């Protein structure tokens, strides 16, 4: 608890003053018509403490004023000074308890609300079993270098990103990807740091340093999100000016009517702004914690506010709306002498040893019975591959490579061309496979209040429109360069902002210019980028709906909490106006309001309504 020490000092001063209260005789040195100054040790201790804390608050107020912000801390200072002037040092002490205790309660509630983030930090891999000439040496994770061989025993966490070089096992990746079933891994497969080994030991070659590995990247994000609340802890400040004016008017009228300055102090005591200062941060941090539990890491409170008000959502196509896995769309033989199956089989046979995404996608989409051995394989960089299959010389790649003399063929999608024995044999087109959750995600966003949904892609218009049509998106911008994507976002009118941009890589240029940038960070170390405001840690686009729903729910709770705190405090002020609440008991009532405020703020961790999730109109 960063601010607990002030609360402890106030409590110690109270205990000492209480002992002095019953152990020493007090005497009044002088009295004025307005003030009664009673100089005794306990009064001196509490007054010095009150002046000191008032100075600290005034320094914060001054910094706020320089930044153009007007907070409610001024009421706390007025309340402290008022009790000093009327010599009600026990009421003064209760205000100090309320002020510093409120900060401590805020820290405690913040810590409770963010326990999911803390558990992530506590589980960070720290030690690795490094293999050197067959000998196991325990080293710190930060000391591992790319190329080192690490032994991962059953039940151990993968310390850094790497590639299995020996052994087969299954790995629990649920903390990273949300997959509930362990994933089988064999030599050549990649491992993400933070995943947990199953029941067999494996040896892994380090491919990324600790600071660049997946789990450490997530931890860096979590630390960032925990450091941000200080920027939004005073959401209630937007109500500061009217609340301060109302409280001063009530206190001033009470003084004027009663002719007693004590009445003004009693009103100021209950006007202390502690509940208002607690309401927003508890709700917002609870919301961020709820996001974390849904595998969404949000860096700051303002991101929640913008997401809750978002009117425009922009999406990259490949890897975001689609799977980033190509599927065969059309198989077009040149003539009737070759069938579609034969054309696809010959092309996949030649491509089976290539690691290119088009080649691997074609091979994956082809029946294994159609794929045959290839000999005399040769690859021409950026052009294509060729080889012999069943006595036929097959070329696969660009048209100029497979059939240089053939007339140009216009294909509005990714395509590979095929020739057999140097004769053009046809072509195969591939397209991005849409994520199964994409159409439902878009439909829910519209029900959640999205007024415009855009697709921003560098792909061909025909391909983009095909994907957009299936997804339910009508505002489609295709053939865009990165600068044109940025321009499209910047040109969104004010009445359609905030704009949320979602891409499969955090470093997408458009995310830098959007009001909120969200990255689909499940498949790589992109989670560490500071350009995105939020990262979805599972490979599920529908988490966008969860993010919007949780944000709307959080801001609803936060605003209700703040307004409730203001309403309750003003009611108590009006009661204090009559003089039936002594300053001391007014301060105790404030602590009760504090607890109510914290309880309401923690409701942000509850499940949003079906309407907020976009499940109903």
- 533-588 pLDDT, tens digit per residue, is 888 878 889 999 999 999 999 988 888 888 888 888 888 888 888 888 876 777 67
Supply the angle between the helices 240-258 and 73-85 in degrees, to the nearest 10.
20
Phi, psi of 521 (to 5 degrees): -105, 25
Share of the chain above pLDDT 70, in %: 78
Q: In the predicted model, is pLDDT for residue 367 greater than 70?
A: yes
Distance CA 419, CA 434 (A): 30
What is the pLDDT at residue 228? 46
Residue 31's CB: how many other CB atoms inside 10 A? Answer: 11
Distance CA 384, CA 429 (A): 15
* Position 22 confidence tier, pLDDT thresholds 50, 70, 90: confident
- Top pLDDT among 72 and 141 is at 141
Task: Tokens for 488, please give them.
Answer: 């499209």
Averaged pLDDT for residues 521-544: 68
| Residue 382 falls in which region: left (phi positive, over 0), alpha (psi -120 to 50) or beta | left
Peptide bond into 414 cis (omega under 30): no
Rounded to a whole number of angstroms, the distance between the first and last alpha carbons of the chain is 43
Residue 469's CB: how many other CB atoms inside 10 A? Answer: 11
pLDDT (tens digit per residue) in 291-342: 888 888 887 777 888 999 999 999 988 778 887 677 888 999 999 999 999 9
Handedness of CA 388, 391, 397, 398 (dihedral sign): positive
What is the pLDDT at residue 440? 94
Q: Which among 106, 102, 243 has a CA at the least distance from the CA of 566?
A: 243
> Which residues are within 8 A (CB) of 565 and not within 5 positions of it... i.e. 6 or more apart?
236, 275, 276, 278, 279, 593, 596, 597
Distance CA 207, CA 189 (A): 12
What is the pLDDT at residue 40? 77
What is the pLDDT at residue 13? 87
Count how many residues are written for the chain: 617
At which residue do the structure tokens 């003053």 appear? 17
Looking from the CA of 367 toward its CB, the CA atoms found within 13 Å total 8
Distance CA 323, CA 327 (A): 10
Q: Is the distance from CB of 349 to CB of 389 less than 8 angstroms?
A: yes
Q: In the predicted model, is pLDDT for residue 230 greater than 50?
A: no
pLDDT (tens digit per residue) in 259-283: 888 888 888 877 766 666 677 777 8
Q: Where are the beta strands (DSSP E) in 279-335?
A: 296-298, 312-315, 322-333
CA distances to 70, 97, 379 from 60, rounded to whole Å, are: 11, 18, 68
What is the pLDDT at residue 222? 53
> Which residues are within 8 A (CB) of 555 and not within 5 positions of it... i.e. 6 or more apart?
287, 304, 305, 308, 309
What is the pLDDT at residue 298? 83
What is the pLDDT at residue 403? 93
According to DSSP, residue 28 is labeled -
Task: Tokens for 8, please give them.
Answer: 């402890």
Q: In the predicted model, is pLDDT for residue 475 greater than 70?
A: yes
- Top pLDDT among 207 and 562 is at 207
pLDDT (tens digit per residue) in 410-427: 887 778 999 999 999 999
Distance CA 272, CA 76 (A): 5
Distance CA 40, CA 20 (A): 9
DSSP 156-209: PBP-S-EEEEE--EEEE-HHHH--SS-EEE-TT-EE-TT-EE-SS-EEEEE-S-
Structural Rg of the chain based on CA atoms:
33
């Amino acid at each position: 608890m960063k601010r607990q020490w002030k609360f402890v000092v106030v409590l110690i001063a109270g205990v000492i003053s209480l002992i002095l209260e019953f152990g020493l005789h007090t005497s009044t040195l002088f009295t004025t018509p307005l003030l009664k100054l009673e100089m005794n040790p306990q009064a001196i201790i509490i007054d010095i403490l009150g002046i000191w804390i008032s100075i600290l608050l005034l320094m914060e107020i001054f910094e706020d004023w320089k930044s153009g912000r007007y907070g409610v801390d001024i009421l706390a200072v007025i309340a402290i000074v008022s009790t000093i002037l009327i010599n009600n040092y026990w009421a003064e002490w209760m205000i100090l308890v309320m002020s510093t205790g409120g900060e401590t309660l805020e820290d405690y509630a913040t810590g409770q609300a963010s326990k999911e983030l803390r558990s992530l930090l506590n589980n960070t891999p720290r030690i690795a079993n490094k293999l050197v000439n067959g000998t196991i040496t325990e080293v710190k994770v930060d000391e591992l270098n790319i190329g080192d061989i690490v032994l991962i025993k059953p039940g151990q966490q993968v310390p850094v990103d790497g590639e299995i070089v020996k052994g087969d096992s299954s790995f629990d990746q649920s903390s990273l990807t949300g997959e509930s079933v362990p994933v089988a891994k064999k030599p050549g497969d990649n491992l993400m740091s933070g995943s947990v080994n199953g029941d067999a030991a494996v040896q892994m070659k380090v491919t990324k340093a600790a600071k660049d590995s997946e789990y450490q990247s997530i931890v860096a994000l979590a630390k960032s999100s925990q450091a941000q609340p200080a920027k939004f802890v005073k959401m209630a400040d937007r109500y500061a000016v009217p609340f301060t004016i109302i409280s001063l008017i009530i206190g001033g009228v009470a003084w004027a009517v009663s002719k007693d300055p004590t009445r003004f102090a009693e009103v100021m005591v209950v006007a202390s702004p502690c509940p208002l200062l607690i309401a927003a941060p508890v709700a917002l941090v609870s919301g961020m914690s709820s996001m974390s539990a849904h595998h969404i890491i949000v860096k700051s409170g303002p991101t929640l506010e913008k997401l809750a008000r978002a009117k425009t959502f922009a999406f990259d196509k490949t890897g975001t709306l689609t799977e980033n896995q190509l599927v065969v769309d059309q198989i077009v033989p040149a003539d009737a002498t070759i069938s579609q199956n034969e054309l696809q089989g010959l092309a996949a046979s030649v491509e089976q040893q290539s690691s290119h995404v088009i080649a691997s996608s074609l091979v994956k989409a082809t029946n294994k019975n159609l794929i045959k051995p290839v000999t005399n394989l040769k690859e021409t960089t950026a052009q294509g591959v060729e080889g012999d299959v069943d006595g036929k010389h097959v070329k696969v790649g660009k048209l100029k490579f497979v059939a240089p003399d053939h007339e140009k063929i216009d294909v509005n999608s990714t395509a590979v061309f095929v020739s057999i024995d140097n004769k053009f044999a046809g072509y195969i087109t591939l397209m991005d496979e849409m994520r199964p959750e994409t159409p439902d995600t878009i439909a829910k966003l519209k029900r959640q209040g999205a007024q415009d949904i855009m697709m921003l892609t560098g792909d061909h218009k025909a391909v983009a429109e095909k994907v957009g049509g299936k997804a339910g998106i009508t505002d489609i911008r295709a053939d865009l360069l990165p600068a044109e994507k940025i321009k499209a976002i910047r040109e969104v009118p004010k009445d359609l902002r905030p704009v949320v941009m979602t891409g499969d890589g955090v470093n997408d240029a458009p995310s830098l210019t959007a009001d909120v940038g969200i990255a689909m960070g499940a498949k790589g170390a992109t989670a560490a980028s500071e350009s995105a405001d939020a990262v979805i840690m599972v490979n599920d686009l529908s988490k966008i709906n969860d993010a919007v729903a949780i944000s709307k729910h959080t801001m609803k709770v936060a605003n209700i909490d703040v307004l409730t705190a203001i309403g309750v405090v003003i009611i108590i002020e009006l009661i204090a106006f009559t003089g039936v609440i002594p300053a001391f008991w007014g301060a105790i009532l404030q602590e009760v309001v504090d607890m109510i405020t914290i309880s309401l703020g923690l409701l942000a961790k509850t499940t949003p309504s079906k309407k907020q999730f976009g499940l109903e109109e």
